[in-house]
Amino acid sequence: MNYKEWEQFLAPYKQAVEELKVKLKGIRSQFELRGEHSPIEFVTGRVKPVPSILDKAKRKQIPLDKIEEEMQDIAGLRMMCQFVGDIQLVVQMLRDRHDLEIVEERDYITRNKESGYRSYHVVARYPVQSFEGLKKVLVEIQIRTLAMNFWATIEHSLNYKYSGNIPEQIKIRLQRAAEAAYRLDEEMSQIRGEIQEAHAIFSRKTETT
Ligand code: 0O2
């Protein structure tokens, strides 16, 4: 595919990411308006860059004419939560939506990956309207806590630095860091009530000043 063809191929994915970013961020605003704790801290989204699509296709032996059905994360969204308990609330909200058709869920929270990676993945079909008609594209939504996100971001850059071959010593450190992030999530969940009260007091204070 040449540059123009890639642009055309990726256009519906770009639209899906932009639309879903607005919609998912909107959930947070609705909680805020009601003065309630939002299970969503922040939302990000990206379309996989062409070199990464090509790398992944090669790694997973996906022929280019099959990437549309077989590569599930060309359109990717991330929803970050403060507490582990918020993750299932967010997943249920996604299951209840009428503009998404969930095709797969992958729970790397109860069973983390060997690397130490933890996150909940929801793969869904999302309809995008264009002048050629309705097109359903696959999107992958990763739901994770702030601690899980911190770990995954660092591990991702190290993987990039070492072209997927992280030295054994660093791998061990990363596994330990993943355990520490897990314990941090557990500790934060224990004092969840305290944290939420503090947030409420703080936002009332900033509203009046
Ligand atoms: P990028 O740069 O984020 O787009 P596989 O890639 O074989 O592990 P699969 O079947 O594509 O898995 O789906 P899965 O397991 O849902 O993983 C896809 C995405 O999850 C990855 O995309 C990462 O974003 C994230 N992910 C999965 N495992 C790890 C991990 O061990 N560490 C980190 N940091 N992220 C992970 P890409 O295409 O790998 O990368």
Residue 119: which CATH number? 3.30.460.10
pLDDT averages per 10-residue partition of the chain, 209 residues? 92 97 95 90 97 95 95 98 96 97 97 95 96 93 98 96 94 96 95 81 71
Tell me which residue of 154, 146, 14 sits closest to 83, measured CA to CA.
Answer: 146
Beta strand 101-107 with 75-81 is unpaired
Give all strands of the β-sheet with 75-81 in edge-to-edge order.
Answer: 42-47, 75-81, 133-145, 120-130, 101-107
Range of the domain at 92: 3-208
Nearest-CA residue for ligand 1 atom 18 is 73
Question: Does 106 sit in the ligand 1 pocket, CB within 6 Å?
Answer: yes
Structure token pair of residue 129: 């309207």
Whole-number Å distance between alpha carbons of 173 and 159: 14
Q: Is 49 in the pocket of ligand 1 (CB under 6 A)?
A: no
Residue nearest to atom 35 of ligand 1 (CA): 152
Residue 130's pLDDT is what?
83
Instruction: Report the separation in Å between the CA atom of 133 and the middle of ligand 1, taken as the mean of its atom positions.
Output: 31
Q: How many domains does the chain have?
A: 1
Report the pLDDT value the prediction gives residue 208, as an integer from 0 to 100: 67
Residue with tokens 């869904």: 124
Which residue is closest in CA terms to ligand 1's atom 29? 117
User: CB of 113 closer than 6 A to ligand 1?
Assistant: yes
User: So what's the ipTM on this one?
Assistant: 0.89
